[in-house]
A and B are shown apart, each in its own frame.
Chain A
Amino acid sequence: MARVKLPTILRSRADGQAQVEARGETLRELLADLEVQFPGITTTIVTEDGALHRFVNVYVNDEDVRYLGSLETAVGDSDTVSILPAVAGGARSPRPGVAPARTDRTL
C-alpha cells in the first residue's frame, strides 16, 4: 500500500484525512482503488476520458508522473504519491455567468 498525500481541497472527500493508503502496481490502479475507497475523489485528477488533468500534478515521491509513465507509472509499497492542484488563491469567476462574491484581488 502506497501513501497518498491529499491537498486540503480533496480532504473533504476522504473523511478529512490528510494522508490515506491505496493499493495498486501502477498509478492507474492506485487511483482506481482510491476511487473505490472514496467515491468521487479522482474526478479532479483524471478526465472523463481517463487521462490526467493538466492543472493537477501527481508526484510519485518527488517526480512528476508526466515525466515518468503518466498513469502507467509504477508505484511501490514504499512510495509516496502526492496530489497537487494548481491554486492561484482563487479563480476570478467561480462559476460561469455568476458574479464572484469577492473583494480582494490579491491574496
Chain B
Amino acid sequence: MTRRTARATAAALVGLLLAVSMTTLAGAAPAETGNAPGGVDKDGYSATRALTRVFTNPDGSTYEFPPNTVTVTADHTQDLRGRQRITIGWSGAQPSAGRASNPYGENGLQQEYPVVILQCRGTDDPALPVAEQLSPSTCWTASVAQRSQIARGDAEAAWVHDLDAPVEAKARLFGVAPFPGADLCPGADADPYFTHLTPYAAHNGTVFPACNAVQMPPEAAVGAAFPPNEVAAFTDLDGTGAVQFEIRSEVENESLGCSDQVACSIVVVPINGLSCDQPAEPATIADEACRRGGRFEPGSSNFANQGVDQAVSPVLWWSASNWKNRFSIPITMGLPPDTCDVLDPRPPTGFYGSELLAQAALQWSPSYCLDKKRFKFQLNQMSDDAGFSLMESGGGPAAVVSSEHKTEGADPVGYAPTAVTGFAVGYVIDRPDNAGEYGQLRLNARLIAKLLTQSYLGSDLGRGHPGIAGNPLAIMNDPEFIELNPGLSLITQEAGATVLSLSNSSDVMDQLTDYLAHDKTAMEWIDGKPDQWGMKVNPAYKKIKLPRPEWPLLDEFVPQTENVCRQENPAVYFTQLAAPVTTMRKIAEALLDAWPNVQTRCEFDQSTQLYKLGRIDRQSFGARFMLGLISLGDAQRYGLRAAALETAKGEYVAPSDGSLKAAVALSEQKKETGPFVLDQATVRREAGAYPGTMVVYTAALLRNLAQEDADKIAQFVEVSTTEGQEQGTGNGELPAGFVPILEQGPTKKLYQAAQDVAAAIKAQTPAPSEAPSPDGPATPTPVIPDVDPDDLGGAGTPTTDTPAAPTPTDEPTAKPTDKQTDKQPDKKADRSTDGATTPAVDAAPMPPTQAVSSGLAGGLLPGLLLLGLFGMAIASVLRLLARGGGRP
C-alpha cells in the first residue's frame, strides 16, 4: 500500500518534471525547478552561489565588487544518452556583452561576461581519488584557443595577476611540467611572451599538451564529425539565460569517455571577471589588463568579432578565480545501446517495424536481456509494411506498426497497443538580430502540403519551372507562413523550400498525408486552386492521391543554367532540395546539427578535376532555418522543438501529454484485437487533440505461431504495458515523448486491449479444424491444421488476383523464410512439432491442387484453325461468285 503511494508520488513528480520540460521545449522561459541548493530532485539540479570579483589595491587592502548571486539549474542529469540535450538555465549572473552570433566552440571566445558550459570527466568531490575528480584538464574543448594561451604579450596575459592562482601558475610558462620543448610545441616558449597551457587528459591516460592543433585529441580535429558542444552562452540584461547543452557519450567522444562506468559532470562557469593580485607601482600593462571590466555595452552584439577584454572573456575559464566560481553538475550516463549485445549471449528475438518506438526500445531492452527470466528483446527498425509482412510470413515473431495493415495470409493478426507517441514537424529557426531561437512555430495543413509537393522554388534556379514560376522561393517568403509566424527573417534559404521527410514507406507518412487529406483548403490547393496570394501547386503533384504511406519524388525539372558545374551534373533540382532520408533518427540529427540534407552544393574538386554535387554546409548559428519530420521520442531526447499543427479553424495544437491524451480519447477500435483508428476528421473538429498522435502496436499472429514465440510476445506486451509505462530514464522505464498507457484515464481502453491481445497471442486458440477461419481470404483451400494456407495460395507473390503457382506446400515462400529463421530448416515441420495438438505430418490430409486454367490457352489453336479454314472457304466462294458475275 505504502509502496504504491510512493510510486504514485514518484510518477506524479516525474510527470510534473516532464510537463515542465515540455513547456521549455515549446519555447517558454527556462525551467526553474527550484532555488534550494543541491539537487531538488533525483533527475535535476539546482544550486546557488554568490560570486564576487576582488581587486587588491596597491596598499594591500582589497576591494570587493557587489556579489552576483547566481542560481544554476539543469532539467535532467540522470541516465543521459549520447547527443541528448538538456536545458541548463541560470539567473542572477552578470549580463553578457559583445554577444557572438555563434556561441559554440572557439566562435564564442570574443564575448564578455558569458556563461561557459563544458562537459568534463570526473566529479567535483574531494573525497574521490584524484583520477576521478574533475579539473580543467578533463574538460572538453574542441579547439586549442579555448584551452591555451600561446606567446601572449603583457596586455594579453591577465592570468599572471590572478589573485587566486598559486605563485607557480603566474610564471611565464605554465601548464605542463616539464614544459614541452620546441619539438612538440614550436613557438610556445618565446621570451618575453607568456604561455599558459591547459593540457587535455584523455580517458585512456594520454595527456595532450594542447599547444597547437596537432597536440590535441583526435576528436578535436578540424572538421570533426560533431560540432563543438561547449558553449559560451550569453546572459540577458535581467541576469537570466538558458541553453540546451548537448551531452557527448564515449560513442561520440572517446577521449572524453563519459559512460555508465565513467562519471562525468557539466561544469558551468559564469564569467564574473578575474580577481587581481597586488599591482606593481606603477601598475604594469598586465596589471591593468587584469582589472579591465569590458568594452561592450551589456546586451550589445559583437558581429564583427572584435577583440574583447581578456579579463572578462571566456578564454580564461580555467584560471583559478574563474574556476572557483564553477557549478559542477554531476551527470550519469545511461547504458550504452550495445549493452544487450555485450552482456547477453542469447540469440535476440527481433521485433520488426516502426521507428517510433526506438527511444522506448532503447530503454526497455536492457530490462529484458539482463533478466534471465525474460527473453532478449531487440527492435529492428524497418518500414512498417516490411515489418508486417515479415511477421506474417513467419520471418519475425512480431511486427511493430502503428496502423492497420492488410493481412495477406489466413491467420488473424492481433494488435496490442504498446506505446502512445507520435510524430512532429521538428524545426530549428533563429530569430533575426541574434534574438535567439524561435519557439512558437505554427503550421497548417496547406503549408505542409506546399512543402511536400515541392511547390516552393528554392532559389532562382527554380524560377524556370513550368507552371509555378510565380511561387515564393521558400516558406519564409510565403505570406501565409509570415501571417502565422510573424517576425522571422525573410532571407531565403534553400532549406526553407522543403521539409526533410522519409523516403520509404511508413505509417508516419500515412498519417501525415491523412491529416492533409482531411483539410479542405489543403486539398483544394492540391487539386489546382491557387491560394489567395496566387501560389499554385507543382504540376507534378497536382491531384495527388492522399493519404499514402510513401511520398514519391515526381518532379522532373532540370534547370537550364550557365553554371558549368550544374551543366556537368544535370539533376532534378527539387529532388535535390527534398532529398528524403530513410530514418527519422537521421532527420533528428540533421536538425540537431542544423545541417539540412539539401544536396545542391556544386563545386569543383581539385584532386579529381571533376565537378561534383553534395550536401550544403551546416547552417550558421543565428541564421538557422530547417524543418524535418521527427518522432516525439527523438524530439525529447535531442531537445528539438515541435511545431503546433492546426486542428480546428485557427486552433494550433503542439504535442504535449494533454494533447496526445485528447487524441487517444478520440481514437476508436473498429474490431476486436484490431488497432485503434484516429479519424483526422474528428481531430479537426476537436480543438485540443494533436493530429500527429500515434499508437504503436505489437502485431503478432493469433494462430499458427510457435508457442515459444507466442509466449515471448505475450510477455513483452504484458511487461511493456505495466512496468514499461512508468515514466523515467532508467532501464525498462518509459522515456520522455511517450504518454503512459495506464489502467485509468483516457488510455484505459488501450491498456485493456493490450491485455486482451496478449492473452489471445499466448493462447493461439482458434483451432481451425473445429470451425473454418472466420476471416480467411478467398482461397478455396480448406484450412488444415499443420499447413499454412499462406503457402498454398499466394505463393510468394504480393498480388492475389493472378493465378498463383500451386506448387507443393513448402514452396516457394518457405525458402526465403527458412533462411530468415535459420534455426528452422522447414517451417512446416517446425510448426507441427510446436503445436501440441496437431497431428503428425504424414497423417495429415493434404489440400487439393488448385485449378489454374486459361480459356485463351484452350481455345487458341482450334480457334485459329477454324477461323483460317472458314476464312479461306468464304474467300474462295466470294471469288468464284465475283468471277461468275463478271463473265457474262
Q: Is this pair of chains taken from one and the same complex?
A: no
Chain B residues in the interface with A (C-beta under 8 A): none
Residues of A at the B interface (CB closer than 8 Å) are none
